[in-house]
């Protein structure tokens, strides 16, 4: 079978990940672990608390009229400084309220709306779509510029709208596979435990995937 991460190498490994990709992921896990102190010091307790607040408020299922939730969400996930129009943000929260979990549909709906810039172009809002998916399912990973700097998933590919959206859907599958491989490395397992001790949270507060996201985001911020 073809490796489900690189998409080029053949492998007989039961998990579908080739030996080269496993080596790269293991090397990355070791590199991240070696920067543990800097990574943890770069994560503020307020950010962890804000995430738990959002998770709790979302369960109340009134996010359209819950303006405190929307305000904190936009600040925490940096929706305000991204060139998104108010129409973008309103549609985003509608999709979240509707519990739309189809990545292609989310990307298409957000693509229909022009950005709040002079050129007013349409764009594939992949990062924000992954944040929506994660809010619905905390075991779904997020990809933003910091995480992408670490994992090197890549940028949007293609000229036409369908091509650009399809490229991101494929990349999200790769992202999920990389995250799952990282989570089983001894280094990341230890880091997860250390994170939970430092910030006094358990897996009912924050999923393993989100703990790793905090770690990757912080590491990506440090190496930019």
Residue ranges per structural domain of the chain? 19-222
Q: Determine the average pLDDT of the residues in 193-210.
A: 97
Hey, what are 197's tokens?
């001790």
SS3 label, residue 2: strand
User: Considering the entire predicted model, what is its pTM?
Assistant: 0.94
Residues 3-43 have pLDDT tens digits of: 999 999 999 999 999 999 999 999 999 999 999 999 999 99
The whole-number average pLDDT for the span 158-164 is 86
- List C-alpha distances in Å: 93 to 11, 53, 100, 168: 41, 17, 10, 21
Report how far residue 30's alpha carbon sits from residue 33's, in angstroms, rounded to the nearest whole number: 5
Inter-CA distances, 3 with 42, 126, 140, Å: 34, 23, 21
Let me know the angle formed at the C-alpha of 174 by 3 and 39, rounded to the nearest 5 degrees. Answer: 120
Asked if pLDDT for residue 122 goes beyond 70, the answer is: yes
User: Tokens 């519990």 belong to which residue?
Assistant: 99
Q: What pLDDT digit, counting tens, does each position of 63-99 carry? A: 999 999 999 999 999 988 667 888 889 999 999 999 9
> What's the pLDDT score for residue 61?
78
In the numeric block, which tokens belong to residue 224?
């930019």
């Amino acid at each position: 079978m073809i490796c489900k991460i690189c998409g080029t190498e053949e492998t007989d490994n039961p998990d579908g990940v080739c030996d080269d990709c496993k080596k790269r992921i293991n090397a990355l896990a070791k590199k991240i672990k070696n920067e543990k102190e800097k990574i943890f010091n770069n994560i503020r307790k307020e950010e962890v608390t804000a995430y738990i607040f959002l998770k709790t408020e979302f369960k109340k299922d009134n996010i359209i009229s819950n303006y405190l939730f929307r305000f904190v969400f936009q600040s925490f996930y940096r929706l305000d400084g991204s060139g998104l129009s108010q129409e973008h943000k309103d549609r985003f929260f509608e999709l979240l309220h509707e519990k739309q979990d189809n990545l292609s549909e989310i990307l298409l709906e957000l693509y229909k709306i022009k950005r709040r810039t002079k050129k007013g172009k349409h764009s594939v809002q992949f990062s924000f779509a992954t944040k929506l998916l994660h809010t619905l399912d905390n075991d779904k990973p997020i990809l933003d510029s910091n995480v992408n700097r670490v994992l090197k998933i890549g940028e949007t590919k293609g000229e036409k709208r369908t091509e650009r959206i399809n490229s991101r859907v494929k990349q999200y599958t790769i992202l999920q596979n990389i995250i799952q491989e990282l989570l089983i490395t001894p280094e990341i397992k230890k880091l997860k435990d250390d994170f939970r001790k430092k910030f006094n949270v358990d897996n009912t507060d924050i999923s393993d995937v989100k703990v790793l996201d905090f770690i990757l985001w912080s590491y990506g911020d440090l190496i930019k």
